[in-house]
Structure 1
């Protein structure tokens, strides 16, 4: 019903627009209604006085109002009748210019330079400086886009201390990030879950690296290899529909950006407050060749190494049923406390390359590729106080308890995670003499996640008494650290418990072919740009996991004392004793690996159900087609169209019963969805732009949720079942967007954008007790699976203010400001109540996010101080108990950057990150039940940039 309402609204809008056309537009034949535009193609390029391309410049034919917008290379095409035409060019941050063009048969080429000496008499201020130039590039592309778009240029990104794409995007209004050990990993756009945002590189869709989500790990992609990042918050029919929140397209550099030999790079090092030294560097080189300089090549390289030593304490909370002797009733209590001492080395390697051939201004062919690798090599010493191994004593409360016969575990884990993302695209585009444009692209994308090491050695203490007090939930007290005999420090109190070996590998391959045909026509005397396209993509996913646990005497490496180093282990103010000797434990792992990972069931070390039910394969084919029309009604630019996507899915997994029986199961399903679209852009004036859009989008289920995997386990007669749900439906969203943008002279914008997303079939994980489920040991079970909520919504408003203070006198005119603020409201409603509630917050949604930055740029010197903040948000829902909903506490961070340009292509710069030493906090239900408290410290980086 919701789709029909939106489709009806969109069709009604189309009817209204059509009615506005002159009556003579309608003929007896549909073919007669469209005639090709008579004229010749004008190929143009807009640059500044230095010859740098100006993307997003608006080119208007003075006599007719016909309009074009330059691409990232500053290029545009117009179809004009032969003769003389005057082109007016407008670009925020540069003086406007006009140029007379003599249009001749066979095509015309024109070059327009803004800010040249002959234009110096205009009142507009010419933007100079890296920060302001980056802002100008972004604002011009945003202003002249069909829909609501935010753009980050490479220059703007480089002025923040953001090492990866996720952290760069946190500066955009309406975007917040989720962190891992202080670094951004996933993004939440407009309060939506991270899986609601699709990510592409040069238009090539990137599969996720994780087997459990479609969300892309953006910490894998460094920020220094890109040209621009474009966030489309309202989709066009020509874009893939799988982006409810917004589509992120990362554009890499082109050799035709500068059309000359260009070499640039940077290098530097830093000090990490919670770690050692860090290193980063990058190099980009490009050139154009040939007699007509119509062949171009580019290569870009990036490398970074980060050493991290965050402090981390985690407390696992449970609801405890006290016996009469313990006081009766229920209290919240800890089942364990983990003190984690990390030694982590993170490296990022990336490369992009491009070969482009432009035999004429009408034809271009390209081969582009990108590769990024993220490697996290981590040794983690852990002191684990396990209260649940003991017996609760009388007198416990929600903040304190004592347990007799509890245990302490000392563990060393060596985990190496490797993410690899690569893309290759081969494409071409040709503009015919009548203005018809045809393009086609064949692409391949691959994402892999592997764990070469996921090894752990565990020792366990003899029974002891453990107490805690969490009244100060950020700094709890634990009896073990004040116990006079130092029980936990005595290695003789520990004995070998087990080793575990775990390996994961996930690979996703995506092959796609897309083609588009753009035809300028005349309908009823009105110029209309028709565009048609089709895309076919096929994705193969393979996920494999193996788990081993060895507790045999043969696996015992000996006394704990023989494996400890003389290096103290410290976490906040907690003395954890001595660290394991990583070299000795690694030698042990290498020595015992073959025995402890024996796949023979008789060896008893392979964890069979867990190793099998995490495995799956999936094949997803999507066939899409669209048609759209773009035309002007006075000062209103209209885009209307329809996209259709047919999805065929096949998934295979294994069902493992309590008896151990393994049954391979395969399911297949198909679905066709329609996505109508109406997008309006209205120019109230050259500075005031209004926007309105009705769109529809989709989010397909995570593969692990829809493959037919089943795991049955039992403990003390209680059966638990974890299973996929092949009947799970994709989430659909009908979207309404409304915006108003006022562009300030000489450089700035004040804007407000409101949005509403009506969700149907939102997916959430449900844990249900006492479900009828017949097994040899019981007739009911606790079942965990993904379900669809009947409806939900995301609503919000974004405010944005950017401005340079050129009106200030003399040196003070170098100041400027960036500020944005986003309010969102979101919820989902289920078909029935769980634990007394049928309405839930949306995971990943913060009520408010904001950014504020003050910058100064003058005389070659630039500096920026910036603060970013997001409010609390829900991370995971526990449908059986609201007190176990997992939240992430709101967090703010203060950063500072500065640089000095010597004017000869050399620039020195410095960065200071997380000057507030803000903690990362997660909690269950209420803040007093802190689950994780983690600090990362500040980072100070110094380096040098150069351009040739």
Structure 2
């Protein structure tokens, strides 16, 4: 055990919370110090985080590693998801995307060491593919200054990577953990290793890092959608189909990084760093889809017919002779990011110069080594009668029966509990190799100088940036159809492994064999039985050149400082894609490469006022401007032409950025000797929101001799909505240490602490009239009315315990289509799609055995709440999924 000193800005918070920072040279308040026996990782990380927040010139939340270099949680999404104002979106129960203060995920940008990088998915920055092992500190920049990208609308997540000079000489740190996933009984493995050392008489520092994470799991999943539109009784939402998705997953995260820093002298230093991350999703899907709409009522009237709709209940009923569509899909997708940076820091004649040169290459893979479709035969006597029960909404089920009788007098026979007792032979099988590949070159130069302006001490800053990005989507595949001869069935590919989930399916099935089924497809390709598919229609290449210039100043006053300036960005976009032009008369259809280009220039002014109210209370007021550019796939010139209906659909190369004006007002109280409290309000005015809309095409790009398509109806994403986002953010962290000491309570009680935050938002976006439906208002996608983070902690005698709870109210996922029927407005299919309320409860305990070794146990998703989606209204569920609890344990070490 050893001692150290911890600044008590919030000694036992599980995480750093949102706080404002002030000028580095502002008079700092007096801070008590406490010598602690044994390492206190929670207190260490909070102390470092609050110190960084107080020294910042803009509104930030910081998450810092403890003295051993550890950050909480396995990936970046989990870690920052515990900060105030941050909500996470999960995939298969794993935190992936970030909604910052109620904003869409594409409003948050990503940077490493202050340099923005492109995410493999484009504007939607993913954070589950970045392990915390590479980071020493994460800063959530909520109110951007001119030196940050104008696309950082909600904010920017800056990841400060580890540096050798952060450690005293040669250091090894690492983690090794193993655990179990409750659902499916899979394994979980988590490991990392960091080596750091300083050479050449303290001038050269090198740090190398590697990490590997793996999780095996199964899921409970059903989907009941889409809902069918009908004019007989549009208030009755009949589901077209019910589907059970039987997932088996293995997910892996691999990372490696290397950084070398060289101090030439006290005024000059250079560095080189490279970071590689890989997210591998090996996903086996065995799906059964029960097409209710392909069945009838007992009298033979179609499921979607007026007679059946009038007499039937859409939540509980029977479809006679429904069709089984089965699918076997193996996804072997790899998402990779590699970013390499050369940079330097220099001080020359009173000027500070910082430069960066970066190359980033990403690949968002979507390989499918196997995709197979199986289907019931046409005879209703060979199909099941399906009794559906959707009354619960969380437990939608079906029961299968024999179908007997005649076409117009169908009869439900005996229940069938083995789905393979029905016929559903193979109709097609194939594979797909595809990826979205992004390459980006970036150069950045920042210059600053301390001077006087208007008689006040002022730091002036200037900078330029140039980025050239290209995103390309490509894919290739093979397929074979089966109509005659010996046709494989499900049993051809089945194993002896039964259902691994916990749902009551009312039927049994066998999972398919990955090795055998994949080899089956490969043999069809090798022997020429499978044919190559034409995938040119899915190809696109979109280029983006961005040139930026900024100027800003930070002027000091007795009461604080003001940061002000502006950024100018010019963006040039180019695009190309293959378009199939329909046949005209005797002319056959042909596929051509279409090319487009556009250009836009925008100015982003901002002002930040930082006020030291007193030694403990800080206030911050910010005015910012920003704009979120359309995603790369939104700008692609992929068009589908329909001359019969005189319509065009696809991407929109002319889409413009969404524009925002933001206001932030925050107050923070650094309570002496420990504790932290903050409250803030924020507002964003939004213009030119990107929405699906119908307009006139208006261009001659797709014209051919004799056909003018410039007046065709154009259905694509476009600028059309205005609105706002506003909210309130509250955060508190503290311990009972001072209270316990003042009241002579037992020493062990001093270790209790808490950290709570709540963010309340409301938003409104006006959507233009579309499809005969008048303009309507919706909330911003990804915006929950409320997000809560509650953490209870205990840290004493080398023991650190955290119980963390997260909850967010429902939020919108996508905007759907609506129609007018008899004066009422009803969804087409599902309409707008929402995620229902989400919660997660996690537990973590760490105990320091000695100076080198620490043991830990973690429990994740302890409430095992399911993820639920619904269409239009909560009473119309379309998906429900559970992932199970996870438990891991292991050791951390440092020497």
TM-score, normalised relative to structure 2:
0.87
Change (3 A) 1:332 1:379: same
Residue number among 655, 659, 664 corresponding to 1:737 in the alignment: 664
User: Shift of the alpha carbon at 1:156?
Assistant: 10
Q: What SS does structure 1 have at the residue aligned with 2:334?
A: strand
After superposition, the C-alpha distances for 1:883-914 in whole angstroms (9 at most, x for unaligned) are: 42100001111111001102322100000001
Q: Assess if the C-alpha contact under 8 Å between 2:675 and 2:732 holds in 1.
A: yes
Query: Partner of 1:667 in structure 2?
Result: 596
Residue correspondence of structure 1 range 519-534 to structure 2 within 5 A: 519-534=449-464
Change (3 A) 1:939 1:54: same
Is the counterpart of residue 455 in structure 1 residue 385 in structure 2?
Answer: no
* Counterpart in the other structure of 1:514: 444
Q: Which residue, 816, 821, 835 being the options, matches 1:878?
A: 816
Aligned residue in 2 for 1:61? none
Shift, 1:440, TM fit: 0.9
Q: CA deviation at 1:183?
A: 0.4
User: Following the alignment from structure 2 to structure 1, what is the Cα–Cα distance between the partners of residues 656 and 259?
Assistant: 39
Among residues 865, 869, 872, which one is paired with 2:803 in the alignment?
865
1:890 aligns with 2:837: yes
**Structure 1 residues 705 and 922, CA gap change in structure 2 (3 angstroms):** same
CA distance 1:470–1:51, change in 2 (3 Å): closer
Change in Cα spacing, 1:300 to 1:139, as seen in structure 2 (3 Å) is same
Distance 2:560 2:259 in 1: 37
2:89 to 165, 178, 194: 178
The aligned runs of 1:893-908 (5 Å cut-off) are: 893-908=840-855
Matches within 5 A, 1:457-472: 457-462=372-377, 463=380, 464=383, 465-472=385-392
Q: Is this contact kept in 2: 1:322–1:330, CA < 8 A?
A: no
Verify: 1:133 aligned to 2:44, yes or no.
Answer: yes
User: The residue matched to 1:219 in structure 2 has which SS?
Assistant: coil
SS of alignment partner, residue 187 of structure 1: strand
Look up the SS of the partner of 1:388 in the other structure. helix
Matched-pair contact (CA < 8 Å) for 1:501–1:548 = yes
Task: Give the unaligned 5+ runs of structure 2.
Answer: 11-21, 297-301, 403-412, 584-588, 820-825
**Whole-Å Cα distance in 2 between the matches of residues 914 and 49 of structure 1?**
35
- Worse-superposed segment, 920-929 or 457-466: 457-466
User: Cα distance 1:771–1:429, how it changes in 2: closer, same or farther (>3 A)?
Assistant: closer
Whole-angstrom distance in 1 between the partners of 2:492 and 2:647: 41
Aligned to 1:112: none
Is the CA contact (8 Å cut-off) linking 1:768 and 1:880 kept in structure 2?
no
Partner residue of 2:754 out of 795, 799, 817: 817
Matched residue SS, 1:490 = helix
Report the Cα distance in structure 2 between the residues aligned to 1:617 and 1:648, rounded to whole angstroms. 14
The Cα shift of 1:317 comes to 2.6
Change (3 A) 1:816 1:914: same
SS at match of 1:241: coil
- Report the secondary structure of 2:137's partner residue: strand
Show the 5 A alignment for 1:348-359. 348-359=253-264
Deviations 1:795-849 (A, max 9, x none): 1110000112221132111111110000011111134366244212211110100
Matches within 5 A, 1:238-257: 238-257=147-166
CA distance in 2, matches of 1:567, 1:467: 26
Q: What is the alpha-carbon distance in structure 2 between the residues aligned to residue 938 and residue 139 of structure 1?
A: 33
**Which residue number in structure 1 is paired with residue 16 of structure 2?**
none
Q: Which residue of 2 aligns with 1:695?
A: 624
Give me the whole-angstrom Cα distance separating, in 2, the residues matched to 1:583 and 1:850. Answer: 45
Residue 216 of structure 2 corresponds to which residue in structure 1? 307
- In 2, are the aligned partners of 1:678 and 1:694 still within 8 Å (CA)? yes
| Residues 153-211 of structure 1: CA deviation (Å, up to 9, x unaligned) | 1239998863211111211111111111000111111111111111112223222223x
Deviations 1:384-432 (A, max 9, x none): 1112333434332332343333211232211111000111111111123
Contact 1:618 1:649 in 2 (8 A): yes
8 Å contact from structure 1 (residues 718, 778) kept in 2: no
Find the aligned partners of 2:84 and 2:843 in 1 and give their Cα distance.
19
| C-alpha spacing 1:667/1:487, structure 2 compared with 1 (3 Å) | same
Three-state SS of the structure 2 residue aligned to 1:408 is: strand
Residue pairs, 1:448-597, within 5 angstroms: 448-462=363-377, 463=380, 464=383, 465-480=385-400, 484-486=414-416, 489-491=419-421, 493-546=423-476, 548-553=478-483, 558-569=488-499, 571=501, 572-574=503-505, 575-594=507-526
Q: With CA pairs under 8 Å and 6+ residues apart, which has the higher RCO, 1 or 2?
A: 2
SS at match of 1:832: coil
Q: Deviations over 1:909-933 (max 9, x none)?
A: 0000011011111011122211110
Alignment of 1:707-726 (within 5 A): 707-712=636-641, 721-726=648-653
Label 1:832 to 1:192 Cα distance change in 2 as closer, same or farther (>3 A).
same
Corresponding position of 1:29: none
Asked if 1:762 corresponds to 2:689, the answer is: yes
Post-superposition offset of 1:936: 0.6
Deviations 1:206-265 (A, max 9, x none): 22223xx41122111112221111110011111111111001111110001023111110
Instruction: After superposition, give the CA deviation of every residue in 1:462-481 in whole Å (9 maximum; x if it has no partner).
Output: 33232312111112231317
Q: Does 1:278 align with 2:188?
A: yes
Equivalent-residue separation in structure 1 for 2:231 and 2:624 (angstroms): 54
Instruction: Specify the alignment match of 1:12 in structure 2.
Output: none
CA distance in 2, matches of 1:49, 1:792: 54
> 3-state DSSP class of the match of 2:536?
helix
Matches within 5 A, 1:200-211: 200-210=111-121
Q: Secondary structure at the match of 1:163?
A: coil
Distance 1:329 1:535, change over 3 A: closer
- Shift of the 157–333 alpha-carbon distance from structure 1 to 2, 3 Å rule, reads farther
Displacement of 1:682: 0.4
Residue-by-residue CA offset, 1:320-351 (whole Å, 9 max, x unaligned): 4377xxxx766311111111111111111001
Alignment partner, residue 205 of structure 2: 296
Which residue of structure 2 aligns with residue 806 of structure 1? Answer: 737
How many angstroms apart in 2 are the aligned matches of 1:926 and 1:890?
13
Q: 1:451 Cα shift?
A: 2.9
Deviation at 1:667, TM superposition (A): 1.3
Q: Is the aligned partner of 1:640 residue 2:567?
A: no
Q: Deviations over 1:509-562 (max 9, x none)?
A: 111111111111123542211111111111111111345543145896634333
Of 411, 419, 438, the match for 2:353: 438
- Distance in 2 between the 1:743 and 1:52 partners? 15
Range with bigger deviation, 147-156 or 339-348: 147-156
**Among residues 65, 77, 80, which one is paired with 1:154 in the alignment?**
65
CA distance in 2, matches of 1:835, 1:400: 31
Q: Distance between the aligned counterparts of 1:263 and 1:915, measured in 2?
A: 33
CA contact (8 A) 2:786 2:808 kept: yes
Q: 1:367 aligns with which of 261, 265, 272?
A: 272
1:914 aligns with 2:861: yes
User: Is the 2:77–2:96 Cα contact (8 Å) retained in structure 1?
Assistant: yes
1:340–1:159 CA distance, 2 compared to 1 (3 A)? farther
Q: What's 2:315 paired with?
A: 399
8 Å Cα contact 2:71-2:133 kept in structure 1: no
Task: Please say if residues 630 and 657 of structure 2, whose CA atoms lie closer than 8 Å, have aligned partners that are also in contact.
Answer: yes
Q: Deviations over 1:18-40 (max 9, x none)?
A: xxxxxxxxxxxxxxxxxxxxxxx
Question: Is residue 317 from structure 1 mapped to residue 226 from structure 2 by the alignment?
Answer: yes
Label 1:477 to 1:342 Cα distance change in 2 as closer, same or farther (>3 A).
Answer: closer
When residues 130 and 794 of structure 1 are mapped into structure 2, their CA distance, relative to the original with a 3 A threshold, is: same
Per the normalisation by structure 1, the TM-score is 0.82
For 1:771 and 1:311, locate their aligned partners in 2 and report how far apart those are by CA, in whole Å: 48
